[in-house]
Structure 1
Amino acid sequence: MKVTEQPVLRDIVLIGGGHSHVGVLKRFAMKPVPGVRLTLICRDTHTPYSGMLPGYVAGHYSYDECHIDLSNLAEFAGARFYRDEAIGLDRTNRRIICRGRPPVPYDLVSINIGSTPRVNEVPGASEHAVPVKPIHGFNARWLNLLERAQTHEGPMSIGVVGAGAGGVELLLAMQYRLQNEYRARGKDPKQLSFHLFDQAPELLPTHNDKVRKAFEATLRKRNVHIHLGSAVNQLEAGHLGTETGQSFDLDEILWVTRAGGPEWLRNTGLDLDEGGFIRCRDTLQTESDDDVFAAGDIANVVDHPREKAGVFAVRQGPPLADNLRRRALGKEPKPFQPQKDWLALISTGDKYAIASRGDRFFKGRLVWRWKDWIDRRFMKKFNDLPPMEESSTLPDTAAAQNPEEASQAISAVAMRCGGCGAKVGSTVLSRALGELRPIERDDILVGLHAPDDAAVLKVPPGKAVVHTVDFFRAFIDDPYVFGKVAANHSLGDCFAMGAEAQSATAVATVPYGIESKVEDVVFQMMSGAVEVLNEAGCALVGGHTGEGRELALGFAVNGLIDPNEVMSKGGLKAGDKLILTKAIGTGTLFAAHARLAARGRWIDAALESMVQSNLEAARCLRRYGAQACTDVTGFGLLGHLVEMTRPSGVDAILNLSAIPILPGAAETAAEGILSSLQPANIRLRRGIKDQDRWVDHPQYPLIFDPQTAGGLLASVPADKADACVAELRALGYPVTAIIGEVTPQGDAIEPITLRD
């Protein structure tokens, strides 16, 4: 995470990770605007580059070669990355409504979400066609289709609806890939047949006649059946019908036509065209609202209408970034006029391409190599990111919209008070916390919304109190997700002992800033935390919030437990099996994330693990006779296992190859990218017998890796271990594994034996 001394004055929120927005992120990364913060909301971490998608389908490019890693790009740009989907825009309250998180406030917002197939206009299309758009969701659909084609026996017919450049290029790429797959499996590629449909009377209607004739010749040479001049009007399972009464039996149908804007745009009050696209001026501001911008396929720039093509979205990136910058600084945006004609490079799937610009026309394998060079150069700008130097300057208030904001910004970093003067103001806190709804418990007598000095709790008869505390600074820029992880991490110790969480008291540090921005950070962070606490049956009863340079959060958690059923670190018994419920690797992954060396999907997988509660896992382990349990956190797997062996008076065998590892962790550890806590944890290697034998094992560094919100490490009687693992996996802990066993204490001073 980039940390800046500049208080946030203006929030620019980017909805969607399209080609225009990746250009905005790169431009702001190279030239940030003091006091202006970017937030990207996108449901996918990796966004495909449309120019290389046919090459990916044809098998010429790997997934990473043709996808931009939005997580890394946002980190590079100092932008917050919210992995979610926008489903509404509340312009009155200036908030973006999201599917799975609290609303996100904005000062300026830009929409670059591509288009959505209007399959509901044709009966059966939504159920029986594979839509290519929105393009970010195509990969999963393509892989499913590829798997079905690979396992299909007998003849197979594939239809593509849409004979524009996208449909033609995709069909030829699929044909090339699938025929090669058939040959590789000893199947006859002639069993595959391909059909192209469109209501238009000709192919590629927006291209010149030479291009159309070249592709018509290519399609016929490749035995593609072309059906033009008749709209598809009905789809059923394995069947397609046209308005002229023709009928076709097809095993797979892809939809590459009739795209429009998503339905939620109709409720925003923005002016839309007949296709549901946003009407924009040549400044890329919407006709309806100067503070709402749009670009790419979703935008209809009314004075300069152009084809829906990736080249225009790419070209809109720089002027969009410049106009967002100008608007944030109170300046007038400048009009942008796109080129009248453009270079189109359309591949035929087999490393052969056709180029056109206006009436000009070229074709051949050299053209494909030219296209490949252009595409790779474009991707390199967004995936090969240079290291950025941190800078610290006095507050810049150019983005302030009035003297009060400027005054707040200056006081936010200058002459900050200590002690109670460093608290976040009561008005800000009351607004931020007023919308939270922590659960109510009968044993909480005085809680969060009671104006008292402390919470008051009851302890039921026969119960003992478990008390624990955890606190750490943010490692991601999304305060909502950070709040969920922090709460889950803090509950871990309570669950590991077999306790029921009763109450939590929060301690938070929030970066300096103007009141409205501080309020939203507190609200987002505590909304995530309260969701997790509520799901655990734990009531948030109070807390303390102060100012600081970095966002941080922790909780003191009270739990209730039967004193006769405590799972402690000292309960290991010789003969027990060691079970781990989650994969390890968060330390190295987030160290790599800070260096832009981790793929976004690795970080997604780590966060998914970190927000998963250990509550049901702890209950399951207890049912199978676990008496020793701990959550794996800062000391790493080895450190926590050593902690358990000492009070238990036993030794342990750890099977390195059996330990579940988070995606990407082995790669980042092999690169030598490790957590700052790793050196301290490695000192515990003295607890390993013959540890010099294992230093080159790929899993070895990861047993020292510090975890955040890690899984549970427990011992279970050997005769119950397999059943316990099966139930844990069924409960939603899919990587749960037996990673070793407990042995009687030997003569050696080292308690841990490693095995492969």
Structure 2
Amino acid sequence: MQQPDSPVLRDIVLVGGGHSHVGVLKRFAMRPEPGVRLTLICRDTHTPYSGMLPGYIAGHYTFDDVHIDLRRLAEFAGARFLGDEAVGIDHAGQKVLCRSRPPVPYDRLSINIGSTPRVGQVEGAGEHAVPVKPIHRFNNRWRTLLERVKLHPGTTRIAVVGGGAGGVELLLAMQYRLRKELAAQGRNPEELVFQLLTRSTRILPTHNARVRAYFERVLNRRGIAIHTSTEVTSVDVGRLCCDRGQWHAADEIVWVTDAGGAAWLRDTHLALDEEGFILVDANLRSVSDPNIFAAGDIANQVDYPREKAGVFAVRQGRPLADNLRAAVIGRPLKPYRPQTRWLALISTGDRHAVASRGALFLAGDWVWRWKDWIDRRFMAKFNELPGMKESTNGKPDSASRVTLNDEESAQAISALAMRCGGCGAKVGASVLSRALSTLTPTPRDEVLVGLHAPDDAAVVRVPPGKALVHSVDFFRAFIDDPYVFGKVAANHALGDIFAMGAEAQTATAVATVPQGLEAKVEDTVFQMMSGALEVLNEADCSLVGGHTGEGRELALGFAVNGLIEADGDTALRKGGMRPGDVLILTKPIGTGTLFAAHARLAARGRWIDAALTSMCQSNRLAAQCLREHGATACTDLTGFGLLGHLIEMTRPSNVDAELDLAALPLLEGAEETVAAGILSSLQPANVRLRRALRDQARWVDHPRYPLLFDPQTAGGLLASVPAGHATDCLNALRALGYTRATIIGRVYEASKALEPIALTSSVIGQAVLDS
């Protein structure tokens, strides 16, 4: 995680990953503003570039060709990426309300979420039609349609509702791709029947007559039925009903019309137009709330009304970034006047395109190549990013220009000055009390003195017949989302307790938070502890106290107590492995290399998403399942990596083990980042354990070999289970949500060899299941 060179004084929050906001991120990346922190809230890690979507549907581009990796771009810009969806605004508190995380405070807010097809206005359209936006849902449905057409011969009727450029272009791309797929299978492309419906008297109504006539000829030549002046009044299974009592058969219906603003905006205090779009002035600032800006399709510039087109969202990126910067440093805003005419390059699906601007009409394959060059150059600005620069002295590049009031100025000076050590490094009591006041730890009867009645220390009773299990973990943040970091840190700390077969009882937190304005520190503590407390409460583990101090980096750890039967017979120890057992790993590995790559902008955002999802999955149910199926030994995978933790199990068990490299479950992207030579900083220390590998030289060039040493954060459980119980155990684990749980090896009698671990690459788990 990048650490700011100066205390955070102001927060600019961007809601949505549209074309304008990617421009804002890039502009701030090129020229950061000291003291200003950017936060991007977006449900999707990869945002599509609308200009290339038809080319993707037609099969000319891959998914990555047409998507901007927002997580990676945010990392490059030094911005926080919060994978969530905005559902409201607290104007008085200046907070964005999110669907599945705590509210996010802002000093200035910008909204760039695009428009939403209003299928709800037509009966049945919401249930039976596929809106082209949000695009991630359309893409999933498109992939399903593509597979269905390929696998099931017979007539498929496809209708597109909407006769603008978007509808026409999308329909032609779909037809081109689907017919090409049928031809490749030796099938008749005429199995596919296409039609276009529009309430307008003509297609492409905002373009000149020559452009319209050209596309009418293209549609007719390709056998696509055009129904103009046709209002769709209802949608049912397999058909569209229209205003003149007509109906049209359709197996798949795509909706590219009736766009409006997101429904949640209606519950805010923002001024909206009749379609639900945010009304903004010439500075792209809301006419009703000076702290909020909007751009792209979701915005309606009252002084310069224009139709919705991607070109405006792209061009608004720079003035939006400049005005957001000006707003937080107290400088005048500059108006943006959009052009009255713009160039539209509309493809026909088959690497052919038409240029339209005012009365201009051009067509040809060369126009498509021109469009392709423009689109690829645009995408390269956001996906081909230079490597990260290392901070040389930890000092800000320049003094902050942020406008502060007197109290904030005093806090900022204090944050920049040399700080006290010892107890003087504590975070203020009032800051802590406010941050924690709305958090409610799970209650336990054994907690006599805890956060419900704070004192110098917690007092916890040990129930009769129980013994305490103690563990502690602490590490610095590796992601820029304190809420998710809190969840991962708590899961990581609880892992040792669960691996021992214990029940989590209490936890004490230790955290460091970067200096800054009290409000910023308070929110960081609140976000981080909210995530941690969700995990602790779910585990019925009571947070009883902690310590929070100032430091350069955000860090969090927990001392955790667990309960186990006093006789110790129920404890799962590392030293209980038996010859004949199989080794089960409950989660995939690869977090070390992936986050090393993320810090170097060398990991795809979806790889990091999947890794975080795995790290946020608790080991509690897996531990219970392993015990129920007779596990003889268990440990959780953390910093020593798979090999290091397996050695910790074989030595006290006096056994040998065999690991199957082919069977190892890997996080998406881990093999690619290892192949690129990107490894965790802890990897070299772990590699020293290679002396425990038999015939090590034989395997050193195997592509998965480095992952044996990859340190894990909040990794899965590694357990030995009797071979006869393995199938039932795996099925149970997968039913509980551990879908990547896998048999990765076997346990053998100790041999005369000095090295206890042998490697193979034979998919051993399937052999065990087959037997």
Is 371-380 or 239-248 further displaced after alignment?
239-248
Q: Any conservation in 1 of the 2:388–2:600 contact (CA below 8 Å)?
A: no
Kindly indicate whether residue 656 of structure 2 is the aligned counterpart of residue 654 of structure 1. Answer: no
Amino acid at match of 2:536: L
| Pairing partner for 2:547 from 544, 553, 568 | 544
Cα offsets for 1:26-76 (capped at 9, x unmatched): 000000111000000000000000000000000000000100000000000
Q: CA deviation at 1:190?
A: 0.6
Cα offsets for 1:265-316 (capped at 9, x unmatched): 0111111001000011010001101110000000000111111111110000
Is 403-412 or 558-567 further displaced after alignment?
403-412
Q: CA deviation at 1:142?
A: 1.6
Kindly indicate whether residue 342 of structure 2 is the aligned counterpart of residue 342 of structure 1. Answer: yes
Kindly report which structure 2 residues correspond to 1:566-585, keeping only aligned pairs within 5 A, or say none.
566-585=571-590
| Pairing partner for 2:625 from 620, 624, 630 | 620
Q: Any conservation in 2 of the 1:580–1:736 contact (CA below 8 Å)?
A: yes
Cα distance between partner residues in 2 of 1:234 and 1:704: 59
Structure 2 match to 1:161: 161
SS at the partner of 2:293? Answer: strand
Cα offsets for 1:583-624 (capped at 9, x unmatched): 000000000000000000000000000000000000000001
SS at the partner of 2:408? Answer: helix
Q: Any conservation in 2 of the 1:626–1:714 contact (CA below 8 Å)?
A: yes
Kindly report which structure 2 residues correspond to 1:95-110, keeping only aligned pairs within 5 A, or say none.
95-110=95-110
Cα offsets for 1:478-511 (capped at 9, x unmatched): 0000000000000000000000000000000000
Amino acid at match of 1:525: M
Kindly report which structure 2 residues correspond to 1:269-668, keeping only aligned pairs within 5 A, or say none.
269-390=269-390, 392-394=394-396, 396-562=399-565, 563-668=568-673
Cα distance between partner residues in 1 of 2:145 and 2:417: 59
Kindly indicate whether residue 203 of structure 2 is the aligned counterpart of residue 198 of structure 1. Answer: no
Cα distance between partner residues in 2 of 1:358 and 1:480: 50
Cα distance between partner residues in 2 of 1:225 and 1:696: 59
SS at the partner of 1:398? Answer: coil
| Pairing partner for 1:683 from 685, 688, 713 | 688
Q: CA deviation at 1:136?
A: 4.2
Q: Any conservation in 2 of the 1:5–1:549 contact (CA below 8 Å)?
A: no
Cα distance between partner residues in 2 of 1:364 and 1:5: 52
Structure 2 match to 1:40: 40
SS at the partner of 2:173? Answer: helix
Cα distance between partner residues in 2 of 1:656 and 1:186: 41
Kindly report which structure 2 residues correspond to 1:213-252, keeping only aligned pairs within 5 A, or say none.
213-252=213-252
Q: Any conservation in 2 of the 1:5–1:413 contact (CA below 8 Å)?
A: no
Structure 2 match to 1:716: 721
Cα distance between partner residues in 2 of 1:345 and 1:558: 64
Q: CA deviation at 1:400?
A: 3.3
| Pairing partner for 2:753 from 742, 748, 753 | 748
SS at the partner of 1:32? Answer: coil
Kindly indicate whether residue 270 of structure 2 is the aligned counterpart of residue 265 of structure 1. Answer: no
Amino acid at match of 2:401: A
- Long gaps (5+) in structure 2: 762-771
SS at the partner of 1:603? Answer: helix
SS at the partner of 2:583? Answer: strand
Amino acid at match of 2:286: T
Cα distance between partner residues in 2 of 1:5 and 1:359: 52
Q: CA deviation at 1:139?
A: 1.8
Q: CA deviation at 1:245?
A: 1.3
Cα distance between partner residues in 1 of 2:700 and 2:512: 39
Q: Any conservation in 2 of the 1:589–1:665 contact (CA below 8 Å)?
A: yes
Kindly report which structure 2 residues correspond to 1:718-737, keeping only aligned pairs within 5 A, or say none.
718-737=723-742
Q: CA deviation at 1:402?
A: 1.2
Identity of aligned residues (%): 69
SS at the partner of 1:233? Answer: strand
Q: CA deviation at 1:184?
A: 1.6
Amino acid at match of 1:448: L
Cα distance between partner residues in 2 of 1:167 and 1:616: 48
Cα distance between partner residues in 2 of 1:166 and 1:469: 56
Query: How many aligned positions are there?
Result: 756
Amino acid at match of 2:3: V
Amino acid at match of 1:513: G
Amino acid at match of 2:656: D
Q: Any conservation in 1 of the 2:5–2:34 contact (CA below 8 Å)?
A: no
Amino acid at match of 1:66: V
Normalising to structure 1: TM-score of the pair?
0.99
Q: Any conservation in 2 of the 1:179–1:192 contact (CA below 8 Å)?
A: yes
Normalising to structure 2: TM-score of the pair?
0.97
Q: CA deviation at 1:637?
A: 0.3
Cα distance between partner residues in 2 of 1:449 and 1:270: 40
Structure 1 match to 2:58: 58
Q: CA deviation at 1:246?
A: 1.2
SS at the partner of 2:561? Answer: strand
Amino acid at match of 2:362: F
Structure 1 match to 2:207: 207
Q: Any conservation in 1 of the 2:388–2:601 contact (CA below 8 Å)?
A: no
Cα offsets for 1:338-362 (capped at 9, x unmatched): 1111010000000000001111111
SS at the partner of 2:92? Answer: coil
- Measured on the aligned residues, the alpha-carbon RMSD in Å equals 0.9
Cα offsets for 1:115-142 (capped at 9, x unmatched): 1111111000000001101234332222
| Pairing partner for 1:671 from 670, 676, 695 | 676
Amino acid at match of 2:636: D
Structure 2 match to 1:697: 702
Amino acid at match of 2:475: F
Q: Any conservation in 2 of the 1:467–1:557 contact (CA below 8 Å)?
A: yes
Cα distance between partner residues in 2 of 1:240 and 1:483: 50
Structure 1 match to 2:769: none
Kindly indicate whether residue 18 of structure 2 is the aligned counterpart of residue 7 of structure 1. Answer: no
SS at the partner of 2:24? Answer: helix
SS at the partner of 2:40? Answer: strand
Kindly indicate whether residue 92 of structure 2 is the aligned counterpart of residue 92 of structure 1. Answer: yes
Cα distance between partner residues in 1 of 2:562 and 2:502: 6
Cα distance between partner residues in 1 of 2:109 and 2:130: 31
Cα distance between partner residues in 1 of 2:387 and 2:625: 46
Cα offsets for 1:696-736 (capped at 9, x unmatched): 11111101100000000000001001110111011100011
Amino acid at match of 2:610: A
Q: Any conservation in 1 of the 2:175–2:194 contact (CA below 8 Å)?
A: yes
Cα distance between partner residues in 2 of 1:530 and 1:362: 61
Cα distance between partner residues in 1 of 2:323 and 2:206: 30
Cα offsets for 1:362-394 (capped at 9, x unmatched): 100000000000000000000000124355435
Cα distance between partner residues in 2 of 1:145 and 1:287: 43
SS at the partner of 1:127? Answer: helix
Structure 1 match to 2:27: 27
Cα distance between partner residues in 2 of 1:272 and 1:152: 46
Q: Any conservation in 1 of the 2:388–2:599 contact (CA below 8 Å)?
A: no
Cα distance between partner residues in 2 of 1:117 and 1:357: 26
Q: CA deviation at 1:447?
A: 1.1
Cα distance between partner residues in 2 of 1:406 and 1:400: 9
Is 134-143 or 20-29 further displaced after alignment?
134-143
